[in-house]
A = this chain, B = another copy of it.
C-alpha cells in the first residue's frame, strides 16, 4: 500500500490511529487498530452490533442493511455499521462503548500516550540449595545470599508476614521460586513461571473501577467495577464526612465497607485473569482526598470544615493487608499525593495521564464526578491551578426522579424533535431511566426547544409541558413503552438538581479562569475526563451552560484518565515521581471561600442566552 492511497483512520474516544487502503471497511480498520468491535455476524451487515459514529471524513453511502437496522435518530446522529462502511478519505470515527466487546468496556478511553514500563516490584528467579547439617543458615539468610550472588541485590529482607509464607512454600516448591522484590524487600514469592501483577483502582465517590495489570508488560489483564458501598452513608463527600463526625465508629465502618468492596473486586479481577492473589505484589489507589482518607481511616473532622485541611497530603505507602486487601503478604498500596482540599490523588493521576503540565496550550482539564475537579495549565507558568466543585451525584443519575447509572435501559442520548423525543438506551433495551449523558441531552434539548427558560423554569403554556404529580414535567417515555411500566419524565425538581450541579462546575471554571487572569477566548483546549465525561455530548453541555462558551477551545474526551494515571503510577517508578511533582506544582484554591463564589454559583445555574454571551455574565441580572 503506497502512502498515497492510505487513509488515516482515528478511533475516538480511544484516539487509536491506523492507516488503511481506501475502500477498507471500518470493521477491518478497527481490527487492524487492535480494537475488538462486537460483531456476531462476522461482518455480514446483519447483527447490528458494530455501530460507529462518523465524526468527520468521507465514507461510502448508507447500505440497505444499515437503513434497515439503524433507527432514524441513529442515522441522524451519523451512526453506521462498521462492516458496511468503506473509508473514502481520512476519517474520524467514534466507537460507542456498546460496540466494544463487553470485557473491554472499562478499557475505553485513551487518546493518551502510553509509557515505558518500569515497575517498583520486580521478579527474580532462584534455585536454592536446601539446608543441611553443614549449612544451617536460616531460610531468609539463604535467600538473601542467593539474591546477592545471582542478582547483586544486597541486604535483602522481608517482613514477618512474608517470612510466614516463605518457609513452607520454599519446601513445597523444592527450593525453587520466583521472588518478588520492592527494592531490596521481598514482598512475596510464587512457583517458577509466575508473573508479578498489580492492582490499579480509581476510587470514586460513587463508582469504583479496578484493573489488574501485568507489571512486566504493563498490559491490562482484567477490569471490574462496583458502586462505592459508602453511598449508603451519604451520597456526597460532605455527608460521609459528617457521618464519621457524628458516629464514634463511623470512620471504621466506612473504611471497612470500601475495603471489603476493593478486596471483592480484586478477587473478581484475579479470577477473570486466571491468576492467584499472591501474584498481586503492588497496588495504586487514587481517589479524592476524602475517599483516600476514608479508605485509610485517617481523621476527617478537619477536612469537613474550613479551611478544609487534609491530615496528610504526601504520597503514602500502606501495607495491603492493613487495607484488608489479600495480596502478596508484603505488598504495599501506593496512595499518590493529593493537591489540596478535596483535590486528591485521582486528580493528580488524571493530570499525569493528560500530560497537563507538559501542554503547550492554555488547557483546562475537567474531571466530572460527584466531586468535580478542574485544573488549568498556562504554558510559561510554573504552577498548575486547581479547584474542586461539589457538583453532587446528579450527573451520575442520583437525585434525579428517574435517574440511574449507565446500565442496561438507561437513556443515554436524547433529541427532542417536533414529533417528540428520540431516545437511545444502553443496550437498546426499553428505557427504564436516565443516565448522566442522557440528562445533559434532555436538559439541553428542553432549553433549546424553549420548553424551559434561561432560569430553568418550565414554560407551562407549551403543549409538551404537562402537569405531573410534582408540578410541570416533560414526558420522555410513557409507561406502556418503558421497561419499568412507569412514565419516565423530567420534572422541575430534576431540572433544579441539574442546575445545582452545573452551577457548581460552571462557577468553578469561571473562578479558575478569573483567578489565573485567563479570558475565555484564550482557552485553547478542554480535556474532559471521567466516565460520564466520555459519553457526554459536549455541544449539549455547552448549550446548557455546564461549560462556559470558550470560543477557541477544542474539546478532548479522554475517558477515565484518573484510572489511566493510576495504572501509570502502578507500572512506572518515573510516573510516581512525576505525579509527586505535579502534586507539589499545583496550587489549590478553595472555592467556597472565594469572595464571589455565591454569585458565580447562582449565575452558573442559569442557562446561557445570546444576550448574556454578548454583554457578559451580568446581561440579565
Give residues in A with beta carbon < 8 Å to B.
131-133, 135-141, 144, 157-160, 163-164, 166-168, 171, 296-299, 301-302, 306-314, 316, 318, 322, 338, 340-341, 588, 590, 593
Contacts and interface: CB of A to CB of B under 8 A. Distances in A.
For the complex of A and B, 9 pairs with smallest distance between CB atoms: A138-B313, A167-B299, A138-B310, A140-B312, A167-B311, A131-B309, A160-B296, A133-B307, A163-B312
Nearest to A155: B314
B309 A139 contact: yes
7 contacts: A133-B590, A136-B340, A137-B309, A138-B310, A138-B314, A139-B311, A158-B312
A313 B166 CA distance: 13
Contacts of A297: 160, 164
A259 to B, nearest CB: 12
A341 B310 CA distance: 49
Contact of A311 (B133, B140, B318, B340): B140
A115 B301 CA distance: 45
A66 B440 CA distance: 103
A267 to B, nearest CB: 23
Q: Which of A132, A313, A593 has the most CB of B within 10 A?
A: A313
B138 A307 contact: no
A141 B310 CA distance: 9
Contacts of A140: 311-314
A586 B141 CA distance: 15
A298 B160 contact: yes
Nearest to A168: B299
A302 B593 CA distance: 64
Contact of A138 (B167, B296, B309, B590): B309
Given A131-B307, A131-B309, A159-B318, A298 B164 contact: yes
For A140, A301, A309, which residue has the most chain B Cβ atoms within 10 angstroms? A309
Contacts of A157: 314, 316
A141 B164 CA distance: 35
Contacts of A296: 160, 163
A222 to B, nearest CB: 28
Contacts of A306: 133
Nearest to A162: B312
Given A133-B593, A141-B313, 20 more contacts: A131-B307, A131-B309, A133-B307, A136-B309, A137-B313, A138-B311, A138-B314, A138-B338, A139-B311, A139-B312, A140-B311, A160-B312, A160-B316, A163-B298, A164-B298, A164-B299, A166-B299, A166-B311, A167-B299, A168-B301
A297 B158 CA distance: 14
A167 to B, nearest CB: 4
B590 A136 contact: yes
A353 to B, nearest CB: 24
Contacts of A338: 138
A34 B297 CA distance: 50
Contact of A160 (B132, B301, B310, B318): B318
A136 B141 CA distance: 47
A167 B289 CA distance: 15
B593 A160 contact: no
A171 B300 CA distance: 13
A296 B161 CA distance: 9
A172 to B, nearest CB: 11
Contacts of A132: 307
Nearest to A143: B312
A158 B315 CA distance: 11
A297 B163 CA distance: 9
Contact of A302 (B160, B167, B298, B341): B167
Contacts of A144: 314
Nearest to A158: B312
Contacts of A137: 309, 313
Contacts of A166: 299, 311
Given A159-B318, A307-B136, A313-B140, A167 B593 contact: no
Contacts of A322: 160
Contacts of A138: 309-314, 338
Nearest to A313: B138
A311 B186 CA distance: 14
Nearest to A156: B314
Nearest to A340: B136
A169 to B, nearest CB: 10
Contacts of A310: 138-139
Given A136-B307, A160-B297, A171 B302 contact: yes
A308 B133 CA distance: 8
Nearest to A132: B307
Contacts of A298: 160, 163-164, 167
B171 A136 contact: no
A262 to B, nearest CB: 15
Nearest to A584: B141
A593 B164 CA distance: 27
B590 A311 contact: no
A306 B311 CA distance: 52
- With most chain B CB atoms within 10 A of its CB, the pick from A166, A301, A310 is A310
Contacts of A135: 307
Given A141-B313, A309-B131, A341 B136 contact: yes
A302 B131 CA distance: 10
